[in-house]
Amino acid sequence: MTIIAVFNQKGGVGKTTTALNLLAGIARGGERPLGIDLDPQGHLSQMFGVIAKKAEDSMFGYFAYRLPLDEIARITRSGVLLCPAHPDLARLDSLLGKGVRVVTQLRHSLHRPEAVPGPVVIDCGALLNVASLNAVFAADLIVVPVSSDFLSLDAAQRVEGALNALEPVFKRRLARRYVLTRYAADRTMCKVVAERIVATLRREEVCATRIRESVELAESPTVALDVFRHAPDSNGAQDYQALVDELSGAGLAR
């Protein structure tokens, strides 16, 4: 079982779209992945059509009331199990604090013998708070979507700094992959950003796959479908399948 956390401290970079389509792409390979939505905005939950009307039916119930993940998880039309978010997740920091036991709760749950055997993909919010720290501490791999613009490149470097700052706690380098999104090969800015991200970060930690701009990819969340169900022949579907294959080939999405 691989646990992937999709994280970036900047909004609008394709973070939730990446989580959605990683889950759907893994499910297309015959596995039953578990999605965990830790963003209080709940966009991943909305895209999958799973809405928790009560806080206790969401990941807030898991953290605040210690409800088991399998009681919260719901099956989706994409064949993915999803533990949905709720706006009350924004209260976790004031409610629970950030002690070691608090930020490792999810890790312990996912590594229990009776935990789900398939891959796990966690969609984080944009803040490095108790919820996203749980994701980072639980993850075998952190996927960082980077929109192909200069502001997003700066944000990626801040994420790199934040992950590096956590490494003394882990006593190892946190596995990570940066993936360029909203990429257009004919746009000079995109080419420059692609060159700079390889020059400023570790080359082996930048995905070869680039997620191209795609109308169908942008449309799919509005109809609560992953891109494979919405437009299976689109560039977005091809690119996210390529990303799943790249991560699986490196043993990072199984």
Structural tokens at position 206: 């930048």
What pLDDT, on a 0 to 100 scale, did the predictor assign at position 116?
A: 67
Distance CA 124, CA 106 (A): 13
Q: How far apart are CA 36 and CA 49, in angstroms?
A: 14
What is the rounded average pLDDT of the residues 29-55? Answer: 94
Q: Identify the pLDDT of residue 68.
A: 94
Cβ within 8 Å of residue 63, ≥6 positions away: 89, 92, 96, 105, 130, 131, 134
Please, which residues have CB within 8 angstroms of residue 183's CB and are 6 or more apart in sequence? Answer: 148, 190, 194, 210, 211, 212, 213
The string of pLDDT tens digits covering residues 199-246 is 999 999 999 999 999 999 999 888 888 999 999 999 999 999 999 999
At 33, the pLDDT band (50, 70, 90 cuts) reads very high
Token duo for residue 102: 């608090």
Q: Residue 112 in contact with residue 60, Cβ under 8 Å?
A: no
Judge whether residue 76 has pLDDT over 80: yes
C-alpha 61 chain-centroid distance? 20
Question: What's the pLDDT at 97?
Answer: 85
Structure tokens at 166: 């956590």
Mind listing the domains of the chain with CATH numbers? Answer: 3-247 (3.40.50.300)
Query: Model confidence over 99-143: pLDDT tens digits?
Result: 889 999 999 999 887 776 689 999 999 988 999 999 999 999 999
